[in-house]
Structure 1
Amino acid sequence: MRRAIALARTRVGLTAENPAVGCVIVRDGVVVGEGVTGEGGRPHGEEVALDGAADLARGATAYVTLEPCGQRSSGGLSCSERLVAAGVLRVVVACSDSSIYADGEGSRRLQAAGVAVDHGLMQAEAEALYAAYRPAKSLESRR
């Protein structure tokens, strides 16, 4: 998680309305993929890490600084869906995301698919990254 937080820190303030999320994928004690949200907010950190890990993500653990999204504003696959499709077995989340695109939905989707989800590892450090992040609380607030 320490590496995921370090990655996220490099993009704070550069990801527009989206938060800067770091993700590190570990399999058998080896980092097989890592990523951070792109400048302007796309791609998401989990997407970058999954692309880097490719098939090595199957059976791995993903360490993510902020809860993976449960849905996408663009309508594409959410990060939680991508993690499930990649075969990740465990997701460790530093802190929750109260955005309408996450707010527990990402964690619930992962758990429903049989993925173990742990919350709170290095939570205070991750929350400090998101002090200025003000997620949309409802679809009405996005208009």
Structure 2
Amino acid sequence: MRRAIGLARAQLGRTGDNPAVGCVLESGGVVVGEAATADGGRPHAEEQALEIAGARARGATCYVTLEPCGARSSGQASCAERLAVAGVTRVVIACEDPSTFASGQGTERLGAAGVAVESGFLAQEAEFLYDSYRPATQGCEHP
């Protein structure tokens, strides 16, 4: 997760209206894909990391600094859907999506697809990434 936090940190201020997210895919102790939200906010970190990993994503664990999106305004597959279709078996999340529209959608989709989800991992280390995306009284911790 610390690697994912570092990837996101490097993109702070470069992702437009979207938050800077870091994603690391690990399988058998080896990083098989990693990325951060691209300049301007697209593509998302998860979709880039999945593209890098290819078939090696099957059975992998995903470490991601922010809950994967559960829906896309563009109608394209969400990051949660992409992770499930790729065969990722576990997703470890630092911070829930602070958006009242999106919060919980990604974890719900992942769980419904049979993907194990853990939230709040190293949340205190990652919360600075999303200071501008949530109310000041809300932290990253999973309720």
In the superposition, the TM-score normalised over structure 1's length comes to 0.91
CA distance in 1, matches of 2:46, 2:32: 13
Contact 2:50 2:57 in 1 (8 A): yes
Identical pairs, percent: 64
Q: Which moved more, 1:76-85 or 1:125-134?
A: 125-134
Contact 1:69 1:101 in 2 (8 A): no
Give 3-state SS (helix, strand or coil) of 2:43's partner: coil
CA distance in 1, matches of 2:101, 2:68: 9
Matches within 5 A, 1:43-82: 43-82=43-82
Give 3-state SS (helix, strand or coil) of 1:59's partner: coil
Letter in 2 for 1:21: V
| Cα deviations by residue, 1:30-65 (Å, 9 ceiling, x for unpaired) | 000001000000000001100010000000000000
Give 3-state SS (helix, strand or coil) of 1:70's partner: coil
User: Gaps (5+ residues) in structure 2?
Assistant: 136-143
Shift of 1:132: 1.5
Give the corresponding residue for 1:14. 14
Q: List structure 1 segments (4+ residues) > 6 angstroms apart after TM superposition.
A: none
CA distance in 2, matches of 1:6, 1:99: 23
In the superposition, the TM-score normalised over structure 2's length comes to 0.91
C-alpha distance 31-86 of structure 1, shift in aligned 2 (>3 A):
same
Give the aligned CA root-mean-square deviation in angstroms. 1.2
Matches within 5 A, 1:1-143: 1-99=1-99, 102-134=102-134
Shift of 1:100: 5.1
| Cα deviations by residue, 1:64-91 (Å, 9 ceiling, x for unpaired) | 0000000012110000000001000000
Give 3-state SS (helix, strand or coil) of 1:126's partner: helix
User: Gaps (5+ residues) in structure 1?
Assistant: 136-143
Shift of 1:134: 4.9
Contact 1:66 1:97 in 2 (8 A): yes
Give the corresponding residue for 2:138. none
Tell me the matched-pair count.
135
CA distance in 1, matches of 2:101, 2:15: 16
